[in-house]
Amino acid sequence: MAISIRPLHDDFVGDVSGVDISRPLDAESVRILDDAINRYAVLVFHGQSLDDDQLLAFGRTFGSIAPPRNHRAGHRLQHAEIADISNLNVKNELRARDDHRRLDSLGNQLWHSDASFRPISGALSMLHAHVVPPTGGDTLFADLRAAYDELDDDTKVLIDGLVAEHSIFNSRGQLGHTDYTDAERAALPAVRHPLVRVHPGSRRKTLYMGSHASHIIGWPMPEGRLLLRELTEHATQQRFVHTHKWQAGDLVIWDNRCTLHRGARYDDAKYRRDLRRVTTQDLDSASDNPELVAAG
Ligand code: OGA
Ligand code: MN
């Protein structure tokens, strides 16, 4: 069966059928999916049954995978490269309300771009659903290329060439979660990325910000924070947003270079939610912070 893609929104998001991604893809299928990612930024696949090895292999088809942050508690999953997007602890039980990992993960409910707090930021994320709650826990996506296009001309001129600072501790700090050690903070120093980028696969201009971004380099703090807040409010208006309602077996790919996403609340004291993610590295971003990339 041939791969076909049905748009789910006027500007972005495609629903993909006719491909089994648990098996190695041939070059033609990879080319079709690459083109579709560049066009749609978010691709939705249904009914995919993948174990962790297969998820990792699928991710590697699209680039090198960066491991997620280390958390204090051990890793529930076997592969360090797979981000555990669940509400489960190492014993596969629901996390306690005050579990550090849970409080940290609540930051995923703020609009963000994966790994924008790293010197080499995230390119494509692939999130696969094993278990989903009966209600709540959707994931929302916002189209930053369309949002850029619809800025007024004065704003486009104003933001041209600006650089934003990003830190994981900014997004967590916005929620009042500041319980990180000096060593945890030192391991993830703040980084800088341009606020406007050209998306490489489509050559379209895009915003690049989200909740890890705290302020604008060279601007007074409140002015930069306000600008970032204004841009996020603009980009997350209903017309730029698509909501994905999960079913077990769904896999969603999104391009972090031109979208924001956030999780929606669900009753995590009652329901299990087990999703797993791999994210490729945006190697083009290495030149944004050469000194940090060299330091590893
Ligand atoms: C992620 C993420 C949101 C969600 O996996 O990067 O932000 O809905 N997930 O779990
Ligand atoms: Mn995320």
Domain count, the chain: 1
Per-residue pLDDT at 72: 80
Q: What is the DSSP letter of 100?
A: H
CB within 8 A of 132, min separation 6: which ones?
Answer: 246, 247, 248, 273, 275
Instruction: Give the whole-angstrom CA distance, residue 225 versus residue 231.
Output: 10
Q: Ligand 1, closest atom to CA 137?
A: 8
Which residues, including other chains, have CB under 8 Å from residue 134's CB and lie 6 or more apart? 271
**Measuring from each residue's beta carbon to the nearest atom of ligand 1, which residues come in under 6 Å?**
85, 108, 114, 125, 127, 139, 261, 263, 275, 277
Express each pLDDT in 170-209 by its tens digit: 999 999 999 999 999 999 999 999 999 999 999 999 999 9
Residue 199's pLDDT is 98
DSSP letter string, 34-68? HHHHHHHSEEEE-S----HHHHHHHHHTTSPBPP-
The dihedral through the CA atoms of 24, 7, 116, 31 has a sign that is positive
Q: Are 286 and 145 in contact (CB under 8 A)?
A: no
- Cα(129) to ligand 1 centroid in Å equals 11
Mean residue pLDDT across the chain: 97
- Calculate how far, in angstroms, residue 55's C-alpha sits from the geometric centre of ligand 1: 16
**Is the model's pLDDT at 296 over the cut of 80?**
no
pTM: 0.98
- pLDDT digits over 227-279, tens only? 999 999 999 999 999 999 999 999 999 999 999 999 999 999 999 999 999 99
Report which bound ligand comes closest to the CA of 275.
Answer: 1
Task: Read off the tokens for 27.
Answer: 């070059």
Domain of 77 in residue numbering reads as 4-295
How remote is the CA of residue 1 from the centroid of ligand 2, in Å? 32
| 97-140: pLDDT as tens digits | 999 999 999 999 999 999 999 999 999 999 999 999 999 999 99
Q: Where residue 46 sits, what CATH number does that domain have? A: 3.60.130.10
Nearest 10 degrees: Cα torsion 78, 83, 84, 89: 70
pLDDT at 74: 83
pLDDT at 295 over 90: no
- The atom of ligand 1 lying closest to the CA of 112 is 7
- 280 pLDDT higher than 90: yes
Q: What is the pLDDT of residue 70?
A: 79
pLDDT of 73 reads 77
Residue 108 CA, distance from chain mean position: 9
Interatomic CA distance for residues 27 and 35, integer angstroms: 12
Q: Which residues contact 249 (CB under 8 A, 6 or more apart)?
A: 46, 47, 48, 49, 129
Distance 240 CA to ligand 1 centre (A): 18
d(CA 201, CA 63): 14
Query: Does the structure show a pLDDT above 90 at 18?
Result: yes
